[in-house]
Amino acid sequence: MAMCTLLMITHDRLAYTQKSLRRLLESEGDFSLWLWDNGSTDGTADLVVSYEAHPRVERIRLEPENVGQNIPFQWMVSESRSPIVGKVDDDCLMPRRWIDPIGEAITTHPDLGAVGCWTFWPEDFDEKVGGHKIRTFGQHRILTNISIGGTGILLRRELCRTFLLPTTFAIPIDQSHMAAAGLVNGWYYPLLWAEHMDDPRSTRCMLNSADTVTATYALTARRLGHGTASEYLDWIRSDCDRMLREPTERQIRRWRTAQAKKRIRRKARSAMNAVRRLWIGSDSTASVKDAAT
């Protein structure tokens, strides 16, 4: 059994997957790789199958349709026996040495939650701006944040069952809830850069040719409603700057406030529905009485 089990989910991004999968398998460390293809029709599924004999590829599953990311992640968490699990997206190029330092940090420091590689651009980090968020854990340092996305990330498998979400966009783990519960999430520091090929600054980015967000590439851009690569890049830069400036403790307070407001709205809706049911019931009773007379 490997110390770490990694999951890569693929879907119709052959050009990216060819690069990301090859690079990931060159990573140092004691890990096994599980591959899940979500109904690809562009040759990606065939590429995945071609790695079946690789010594680090432990499991492969091909789905006939795109079932999203939650089901594959739950599959890995429930069937893997590794103490550490992680996820790498098919559009990321991982550094060679990242599993060992992050794995050691989260294993020796139980107050650490989700820790991962930096997927913004190296130039996006300014220590003068974000240095206040760096914390030390023994021999390790973490650039803390309430959440860090869902790629190039490791965490202890035991945490997944506690903070598993029913549905989510990137990774089905409630990292914000983890942070509010006292666990520390963040990027390993000094930063371990994982190149996000969907970033318009990447020479491998599929958006560079047309500057238009397509149905296949820039999934985050589509989710956020950005129509062009330049709009997406502006958002990436501003999102990183905002994240670096805001203290993690303030992020957690905002999240708790938002959760409290959601609970209040749910209770208000529940109360209104109860009143509506009573009103409908009393009106039906009155109608029956009227009919009887």
| Predicted confidence (pLDDT) per residue in 39-59, tens digit | 999 999 999 999 999 999 999
- Cβ 201 vs Cβ 186: under 8 Å: no
pLDDT digits (tens, 9 = 90+) for 220-259: 777 777 778 888 899 999 999 999 999 999 999 999 999 9
Predicted local distance difference test score (pLDDT) of residue 148: 96
Query: Per the structure block, which two tokens stand in for 49?
Result: 């199958």
Q: Which amino acid is at 71?
A: I
Cis before 190 (ω within 30): yes
Strand bridging mode 112-116 / 153-156: antiparallel
Could you give the CA distance from residue 170 to residue 212 in angstroms, rounded to a whole number?
22
CA 49 and chain centroid, separation = 25
CA-to-CA dists, residue 16 to 86, 206, 249, 270, angstroms: 19, 9, 36, 46
Strand bridging mode 195-196 / 92-93: antiparallel
Could you give the CA distance from residue 92 to residue 21 in angstroms, rounded to a whole number?
9
- Cβ 116 vs Cβ 153: under 8 Å: yes
Could you give the CA distance from residue 15 to residue 236 in angstroms, rounded to a whole number?
23
Predicted local distance difference test score (pLDDT) of residue 42: 95
Predicted structure pTM score? 0.88
**The Cα angle at residue 29 between residues 27 and 30, in degrees rounded to 5:** 125
Predicted local distance difference test score (pLDDT) of residue 38: 97
Half-sphere exposure of 4 (CA within 13 A, CB side): 24
CA-to-CA dists, residue 252 to 21, 27, 205, 244, angstroms: 35, 33, 33, 14
Predicted local distance difference test score (pLDDT) of residue 273: 84
Q: Which portions of the chain are predicted below pLDDT 70?
A: 167-171, 208-219, 281-293
Predicted local distance difference test score (pLDDT) of residue 202: 95
Predicted local distance difference test score (pLDDT) of residue 212: 59
